[in-house]
Amino acid sequence: MAKESKAPKKSDIPAIVAKTVKTAKPTASKTAYKLDATEKNIIDTFEQISAIPRNSGNEEQIRQFLIDWARKNKFLYITDKVGNLIIKIAASKGMEKHDTVVLQGHLDMVCEKTPDSQHDFTKDPISFVYDGDWLKADRTTLGADNGIAIAMAMCLATDSKVKHGPLELLFTIEEETGLTGAKGLETGIIEAKYLINIDSERDNVFTVGCAGGKDTHIELDLGYEEVPYDFRGMHLKVSGLTGGHSGENIIDERANAIRVLNRIMHSIRDICDLRLTWIKGGTAHNAIPRDAEATFFIPTDQIQAVQEHVAKAEAYLKSEFERTDPNLQVYLAEMAITPDRRGMMSYVSLKVLDLIYALPHGVAARSTDMPHLVETSNNLAKAWVDGGKLFIHSSQRSSVMTRLDALTHRIEAIGRLSGARAYSGNGYPSWRPDFNSELLATCKKIYMSLFDSEPLVEAIHAGLECGIIGNLHEGMQMISLGPTIKNPHSPDERMFLPSLNKVYKLLGKILAEL
């Protein structure tokens, strides 16, 4: 047996044979939607917001932009100890005795892009693309989740035609990476009786409940050795998947790139020995992985058989995910020869593949009260090798906290059975619906008077900050609404422009009524 050696560094990973990939920039529709004055004001404000980098943990610039705006308009503002921003706005004349209302959104966005995009989220502005009635970005997430909430709140606060009682604009940090801002919000800063969260994604829906969540981290020590002299390095990549929001889109049964990649490599083991060197997939805990890749060694005399096997695998995978992931692609290439020929030991490679294969992903249970609603699920969000260890990140959601705990314990158990270390965070609570609240009744009445139709009232499987904020402020009545957004947390994110005016008008009437 060859002597065990240290894990290869990232710089030691063999170079990949170059492959030319043709790319094309998206083209805008010739029949672009014509914005009215209100919509143009909202979009102009949103464009200013979108020019500022605001990845989770990097909210300082957008917060300063809002502070400057508050100073310009002579609004009182407070930054709490974790970095949340609260802007207090006096009531319209004659409405001073009305109850205070919070308009709430988050400062950060999910930063996803296509493999061919050169966008740098630390400095580059989001580039808008108008496509008929839809607004999207150039091969990146648009950030309407939740930049459009900031834009709408700013416009409402400075619109002389909108009458309102005392307002509090609450903009939280790091919502996308664990609801950090909501969890750290100090009590006593917010005085409102009502809270309107502008983070829902269908303009005919009032959201009154959401799932709770918890993340699990798995860490497995790896063993490496020199691979046999007659083994050749290979690079496997899965790309082009649809991805999406791990709460909203988990019901769609979209492919998970990590699972697809692992499934192919696991099946290669039926043909020949496989020695993993490196694996990487997924970018965020709340985004379904769209791309994943790995490097490994196989016997040289099995290369042709493996190539044929991978071609067949790509064919049946495309057939399986024809509707959900029509652009799925599988690439296999031989790697350039390098002096470093270290790979994971054969049994360690199998342990890694078995562990990833055993971990769940997708819908675990549907609600028995609302069958169309996912009750419990998890997203196998990230997997990567670094420093001689395998790291895996799984994100669980459920509207029933005991079932959230049960699924989390199952994932931890699978990790421990493989010999890995597994630990989970404290998570965040679900938001239990109150279908009899005064706020909901008022919002429904106003919606029906404006649009001559009844809104949908529902809970969602995604996480919202309302559950946490509600726990901090007992008795606060809450509702979530927003313009129509499709495919958040992916480069296919887009916002339906005609919904802007509808939601803005609705919010204005709600503020006047409350």
Catalytic residue IDs: 108, 175
Task: Assign residue 387 a region (left: φ > 0; alpha: ψ between -120 and 50; beta: otherwise).
Answer: left
CB of 111 closer than 8 Å to CB of 121: yes
The Cα–Cα gap between 271 and 286 comes to 35
123-140: string of b/e by CB count within 10 Å (b at 16+)?
eeebbebbbebbbbbbbb
259 membership: H or E segment, kind and range:
helix 257-268
Closest CA to 313 of 294, 330, 289: 330
CB of 97 closer than 8 Å to CB of 461: no
Residue 206's contacts (CB-CB under 8 Å, 6 or more residues apart) are 200, 440, 443, 444, 447, 455, 456, 457, 458, 479, 480, 481
Closest CA to 330 of 292, 299, 274: 292
Closest CA to 473 of 266, 190, 196: 190
Helix (H/G/I), strand (E/B), else coil: 231: strand
Neighbours of 23 (CB within 10 A): 9
Q: In what order do the strands lie in the sheet with 4-5?
A: 4-5, 224-226, 342-344
DSSP output for 66-82? HHHHHHHTT-EEEE-TT
